[in-house]
A and B are shown apart, each in its own frame.
Chain A
Amino acid sequence: MLGNYLKLSLKILGRRKFFTFVSLFGIGFTLLVLTLSAAVLDHIFGAYPPETRADRTLSVYAVRMEGDDSQSTGPGGFKLYDQYLRDIPGVERMSVLTTPQHVVSYWNGTRIQSALKRTDADFFRILDFRFLEGEPFGDADVNDGRFVAVINESTRRKFFGKAQAVGKSFEADGQTFKVVGVVPDVPIFRLMASGDIYVPVTTAKSDEYRQRIRSGFMAMFLVKDRSLIESVQQEFKARLARVEVPPNFKRILAVPESVFGTFSRVILGDFESEDTASRLLSILLTMAVLFMVLPAVNLVNLNVSRALERASEIGVRRAFGASARDLLLQFLFENVIISVVGGVLALIMAALALFALNRADLVPYAHFAINFRIAAWGFAFALTFGVLSGLWPAWRLSRLKPIQALGGSR
Chain B
Amino acid sequence: MIRHLFKLIWNRKRSSALVITEIFACFLVLFAVLTLSLYAFETYQRPLGFAYRNVFALDITFTESTGDGGQNSSTGKLSTTEPSVENPYQDRQKALLQLIKADPAVMEAAWASPLPFSHSNETRNYTFRKRPIRYSMARCTDEYKDVMGLEVTRGRWFSAEDDGAGYEAVVITEALAAHAFGDADPIGQSISGDREEGEAPPAERRVVGVMKAFRQEGELDTEDRYLLTRLEYPSGQMRRIGSLALLTRPGADASVEARLVASLLAAAPDWSFKIDQMEEAAELNRRVYSAPIALAAVVAGFLVLMVALGLSGVLWQSVTTRIREIGVRRALGASAVDVRRQVIGELLVMATIAMTAGVIVVLQFPFLDLLGPVPASVFFGGLSLTIVALYGLALVCGLHPARLATTIHPSEALRYE
Residues of A within 8 A of B (CB): 18-19, 21-22, 25-26, 29, 33, 62, 69-75, 99, 101-104, 106, 109-111, 173-174, 205-206, 208, 214-216, 248, 291, 293-295, 297-302, 304-306, 308-309, 312, 408
Contacts and interface: CB of A to CB of B under 8 A. Distances in A.
A101 B18 contact: no
Given A70-B78, A72-B72, A101 B302 contact: no
A104 B258 CA distance: 9
Contacts of B321: 305, 308-309
A102 to B, nearest CB: 6
Contact of A206 (B25, B29, B262, B270): B270
Interface string B55-80: 00000011100101111111101100
A299 B311 CA distance: 10
B274 interface: yes
Contacts of B29: 294
19 contacts: A25-B309, A33-B299, A69-B77, A69-B81, A70-B72, A73-B72, A106-B262, A174-B265, A174-B272, A174-B273, A215-B68, A294-B306, A295-B303, A298-B306, A301-B15, A301-B18, A302-B313, A305-B317, A305-B318
B21 interface: yes
A174 B269 contact: yes
Contacts of B257: 104, 106, 111
Given A71-B73, A103-B272, A174-B272, A294 B68 contact: no
B109 to A, nearest CB: 18
Interface in B275-316: 275, 299, 302-303, 305-307, 309-310, 313-314, 316
A25 B69 contact: no
B19 interface: yes
Contact of A173 (B14, B71, B272, B318): B272
Interface in B1-34: 14-15, 18-19, 21-22, 25-26, 29
B70 A301 contact: no
Interface of B: 14-15, 18-19, 21-22, 25-26, 29, 61-63, 66, 68-75, 77-78, 81, 254-255, 257-258, 261-262, 265, 269-275, 299, 302-303, 305-307, 309-310, 313-314, 316-318, 320-321, 417
B303 A294 contact: yes
Contacts of B69: 74-75, 99
A234 B62 CA distance: 35
Nearest to A312: B417
B293 to A, nearest CB: 15
B306 A25 contact: yes
Most chain A CB atoms below 10 A, which of B74, B254, B317, B321: B317
Given A18-B313, A308-B317, A208 B71 contact: no
A297 B317 contact: no
A206 B65 CA distance: 13
Contact of B73 (A70, A106, A301, A308): A70
A214 B71 CA distance: 11
B131 to A, nearest CB: 19
Given A25-B306, A75-B68, 8 more contacts: A19-B317, A25-B305, A33-B299, A72-B72, A74-B68, A297-B22, A305-B314, A305-B321
Contacts of A206: 62-63, 270
Contacts of A103: 272, 274
A325 B350 CA distance: 35
Nearest to B307: A298
A309 B316 CA distance: 11
A19 B258 CA distance: 63
Nearest to A215: B68
Dominant secondary structure at the B interface: helix
Report, nearest first, the 9 A-B pairs whose CB atoms are least far apart.
A74-B70, A106-B258, A305-B317, A298-B310, A174-B265, A111-B254, A22-B309, A216-B68, A294-B25
Contacts of A62: 70
Contacts of A312: 417
A215 B303 CA distance: 46
A208 B270 CA distance: 11
A297 B19 CA distance: 8
A287 to B, nearest CB: 11
Most chain A CB atoms below 10 A, which of B74, B275, B310, B321: B310
Contacts of A111: 254, 257-258
A301 B22 contact: yes
Nearest to A116: B272
A360 B192 CA distance: 49
Given A29-B302, A297-B25, A22 B68 contact: no
Contact of B313 (A19, A104, A215, A295): A19
B317 A306 contact: yes
Contacts of B22: 294, 297-298, 301
Contacts of B15: 301, 304-305
B303 A214 contact: no
Contact of B72 (A21, A71, A304): A71
A302 B314 contact: yes
Nearest to B24: A297
B272 A26 contact: no
Nearest to A29: B302
Most chain B CB atoms below 10 A, which of A291, A295, A306: A295
A71 B72 CA distance: 6
Given A298-B306, A298-B307, A205 B271 contact: yes
A67 to B, nearest CB: 9
Nearest to B12: A410
A294 B73 CA distance: 42
Nearest to B63: A208
A29 B314 contact: no
Nearest to A98: B68
Given A69-B74, A309-B317, A104 B275 contact: yes
A297 B303 contact: no
A302 B272 CA distance: 64
